[in-house]
């Protein structure tokens, strides 16, 4: 191939923590990067901000409470925003 150049180095993943949002389910559990984190029934249906780094998950709650959990999975973060509450289509 004429005029081609050798490929450069592969892109490096960002070393900065990623900020994501998750909505806790009925039992107060969220899933971040393939890891289940039990927050407790006090946090059910709340939207939680999680800061994902290489070794830890830092949960920030709306009331200002912060919880740090050791990260056990190596999966990348796929979704940034959590799901909104579902509404039923039946009105009645």
Summarised one tens digit per residue, pLDDT across range 6-42 is 777 877 666 788 999 999 999 999 999 999 999 999 9
Summarised one tens digit per residue, pLDDT across range 27-85 is 999 999 999 999 999 999 999 999 999 899 999 998 899 999 999 988 888 888 877 66
- Alpha-carbon distance of 4 to 21, in angstroms, equals 43
Residue 60 lies in a domain: yes
- Alpha-carbon distance of 57 to 51, in angstroms, equals 6
Residue 16 lies in a domain: no
Number of domains comprising the chain: 1
Residue 35 lies in a domain: yes
Residue 85 has a pLDDT of 66
Residue 42, φ and ψ in degrees, nearest 5: -65, -20
Residue 32 lies in a domain: yes
- Alpha-carbon distance of 49 to 5, in angstroms, equals 43
- Alpha-carbon distance of 28 to 87, in angstroms, equals 19
- Alpha-carbon distance of 2 to 22, in angstroms, equals 50
Predicted model pTM: 0.71
Q: Which domain holds residue 34?
A: 25-70
């Amino acid at each position: 191939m004429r005029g081609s150049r050798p490929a450069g180095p592969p892109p490096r993943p960002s070393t900065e923590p990623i900020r994501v949002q998750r909505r806790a389910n009925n039992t107060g559990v969220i899933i971040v990067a393939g890891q289940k984190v039990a927050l407790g029934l006090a946090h059910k249906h709340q939207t939680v901000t999680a800061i994902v780094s290489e070794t830890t998950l830092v949960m920030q709650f709306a009331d200002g409470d912060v919880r740090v959990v050791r990260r056990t999975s190596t999966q990348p973060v796929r979704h940034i925003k959590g799901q909104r509450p579902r509404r039923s289509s039946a009105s009645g």
